[in-house]
Structure 1
Amino acid sequence: MAGELTYHDQENIENTKRMRAILRELPLFCRDFFTGIETRTSARTRLAYAYDLKTFFEYLHRENPVLSKTPIRSLTIDVLEEITLQDIEEYMDYLKCYDTDSRSDVTNAERGIMRKISSLKSFYNYYFRREMIKNNPAALVELPKIHDKEIIRFEVDEVAQFLDEVDDGKDLTDRQKKFHERTRVRDLAMMTLMLGTGIRVSECVGINISDVDFHVDGIRIHRKGGKEVIIYFGDEVEAALRDYMNEREKITAEPGSEDALFLSLQNKRINVRSVEKMVKKYAQIVTPLKKITPHKLRSTYGTNLYRETGDIYLVADVLGHADVNTTKKHYAAIEDQRRRSARDKVKLREP
């Protein structure tokens, strides 16, 4: 529909609204920071910064005897000068487990702590580089060491079992089977598409009907940051998509979702959370010991593509990784297997 906002545009608007709502709870001087980074960051990134800074200032207000007497909104930029390296290190320890007004026992693992401290470093750097503060204690903080996590993904036989379960739903509960009768074709199309192309769940739910072109077997998606790319799919994906498209043509979508490809049972564009629940529902039947998420479907595709091609640069490009080193880190074990297999490939002398 002409003039209709894309899913990506709608997400940017919603994220901007959420960010502005949080900004109204932060000290006034924080507006300078968000204005300064607007041209080089996405709305989603700025929202993440807002959440992280909200946690930091709530910590100061709750734990610092002096600052607790001043409302967060009324804090001035001078407060950044008063914070010491020890204060920030204590904040890092606090992040492991804390309570908020709305939640208790909030926890952060290594990566969560690193992200929040990285946000704080960027925040301090902004004001320090502009000579609005003289001291930068955040620059002295050492980020926590990140231990590599085991990469969880489907094995080849598990992929087939997973798609079979999505297709027939024979092991679902009686209640789930009732819904499965109405969602089977859609669910199979989405799971086949994600496993067959490696797209992100946000990219999947953002696809419009007009983004699909069966003449070239390609789908237009919006990558993180808003970049538009064409992802190509194979025969299995095409078959699943065509089945769903035939069904989709008969559905009248709710206003605002007319061009959305994948719809919820309420005939609105399906959201990320619903897809996460969908993956969990089917995966826990097939692999109950593995925590399979939409991102694990992406990892499964990347692994299979790398095993078939051995081209890490192709995998990085198809998955939309900005840095090939990110891809190498994820598939280092497979790369090592390939290097080991090379040892007997070259014969020096005939036996």
Structure 2
Amino acid sequence: MQKSDYLNLIDRELVSSPWYIQEYYQAKATVPLSPATLYQYLTEYRRFFEWLIQEGVTPVKKYCDVTLETLEHLKKEDIELYKSYLLNRTKENGRSLSRRSINRSLNALSSLFKYLTEDTENSDGEPYFYRNVMRKVHLVRDNETYATRAANIKSELMLGTDDHDYLDYIDRTYETTLSPTQMRYFKRDKLRDLAINALLLGSGIRVSEAANANVDQLNLKVATLGVTRKGGMRDTVPIAPWTLPFIQAYMEQRETLYHPQSTEKALFLTTYRGKGSRMTSSSIEKMVSKYSAAFKVRVTPHKLRHTLASKLYLATKNEQLVATQLGQNTTTATGLYTHIIDDEQRKGLDKM
């Protein structure tokens, strides 16, 4: 979704939120956290407060009426019961929530409680309350090791020459599978689609970062792209040189193909009512899904990010460099990539 879409959804959430949630949003919007993150946090708060009402932890009947006193006096047992509720909750497709989804919910609550107990000020200059129950609550342990996760996703990555072959497939072969009507739209969007796939494979940026990127943030001379990371942090991301020709070809035809107005700064465009407008994250996801399914196996843009990270670790054997490329503050998550490409364990077993 575009930023404006998230802001509209946020407005709808805030209308029915307690005053201190609205205050929290105003404080975090100036950090700034991204609209996507803030919207996710607001929906997590609504879900948690509705659970408090349903379970009788608070006597109020409406989400907007949940008081600060209720939050101040929550017990660790209450939060553990909520964790249990999340662990046993199923989505519309009948699947359970993943451990990572549950931990995102707990992290959202931790952010709120930290704000209320440390960052706020009442008329006496003191926080709204001091007791932060979330400090006593641990995240849910992931039930998969890095090795298991790596084995599960490795078949979906474009390792070896697959990333080069994938772009070559879009460039030279994909059109042979199309009808005349499909061919018309493919020819219009081919350069753009190649550029997006190349950028994802050559930089490891998130799909939202690609969708929100602007023309003036791209510097082909030094092979970098300016993006806004999670949490609102600005970052300059290096791009692998082998992908630059695809991006350059698109940039040379961007205005001719999509006729954007002079005020439209989006890097990647689509056509809406005859004018170029910003391409959304969901549209990029569908596009990647379409090409990758025709190439070998259907993947998401996040798997292209995993591909870049895995190949960068293979080339450097440096987890910190991988974390920096991905815009991560620590190397906690990069252990996954060492398991994807590091075959030293297998070599050792073969020698036994």
Quick check: TM above 0.5?
yes
* Matches for 1:160-239 after TM superposition, within 5 Å: 160-167=164-171, 168-170=173-175, 172-174=177-179, 176-224=182-230, 225-229=232-236, 231-234=238-241, 236-239=242-245
Q: Which whole-Å CA distance do the structure 1 matches of 2:168 and 2:305 have between them?
A: 18
Aligned residues: 326
* Matches for 1:30-179 after TM superposition, within 5 Å: 30-35=21-26, 37=28, 40-44=31-35, 45-61=37-53, 63-65=54-56, 67=58, 70-81=61-72, 83-96=74-87, 107-129=96-118, 132-133=128-129, 135-146=131-142, 147-148=144-145, 149-150=149-150, 151-152=153-154, 153-167=157-171, 168-170=173-175, 172-174=177-179, 176-179=182-185
Q: Which of 312, 316, 337 in structure 1 is aligned with 2:323?
A: 316
Q: Any gaps of 5 or more consecutive residues in structure 1?
A: 1-6, 343-351
Q: Which whole-Å CA distance do the structure 2 matches of 1:206 and 1:322 have between them?
A: 21
Deviations 1:104-150 (A, max 9, x none): 96852111111112222333344345664465444333321113433
Q: Relative to 1, partners in 2 of residues 1:299 and 1:132: Cα closer, same or farther, differing over 3 Å?
A: same
Amino acid at match of 1:142: H
* Percentage of matched positions with identical amino acids: 28
**2:306 is the alignment partner of 1:299:** yes
Q: Which whole-Å CA distance do the structure 1 matches of 2:98 and 2:169 have between them?
A: 33
Deviations 1:13-32 (A, max 9, x none): 66455434312212223334
Q: Which of 268, 279, 299 in structure 1 is aligned with 2:288?
A: 279
| Kept after mapping to 2: 8 A contact 1:307/1:334 | no
Deviations 1:176-202 (A, max 9, x none): 444322211211121112212222222
| Kept after mapping to 2: 8 A contact 1:206/1:260 | yes
Shift of residue 332, structure 1, vs aligned partner: 2.4
| Kept after mapping to 1: 8 A contact 2:310/2:341 | no
Aligned-residue RMSD, C-alpha: 3.4
User: 3-state DSSP class of the match of 2:277?
Assistant: coil
Amino acid at match of 1:72: Y
Shift of residue 41, structure 1, vs aligned partner: 4.8
Q: Which whole-Å CA distance do the structure 2 matches of 1:323 and 1:85 have between them?
A: 29
Amino acid at match of 2:46: K
Q: Any gaps of 5 or more consecutive residues in structure 2?
A: 119-125
Shift of residue 241, structure 1, vs aligned partner: 2.0
Shift of residue 323, structure 1, vs aligned partner: 1.4
Q: Which whole-Å CA distance do the structure 1 matches of 2:257 and 2:176 have between them?
A: 28
Deviations 1:222-243 (A, max 9, x none): 4332414152441x32321232
Q: Relative to 1, partners in 2 of residues 1:157 and 1:230: Cα closer, same or farther, differing over 3 Å?
A: closer
- Matched residue, 1:19: 10
Shift of residue 90, structure 1, vs aligned partner: 2.7
Give the stretch that moved more between structures: 270-279 or 174-183. 174-183
- RCO (CA 8 Å, sep 6+): is it higher in 1 or 2? 2
Shift of residue 264, structure 1, vs aligned partner: 1.0
| Kept after mapping to 1: 8 A contact 2:223/2:240 | yes
Q: Relative to 1, partners in 2 of residues 1:254 and 1:145: Cα closer, same or farther, differing over 3 Å?
A: same
Amino acid at match of 2:323: A
Q: Relative to 1, partners in 2 of residues 1:163 and 1:251: Cα closer, same or farther, differing over 3 Å?
A: closer
User: 3-state DSSP class of the match of 2:278?
Assistant: coil
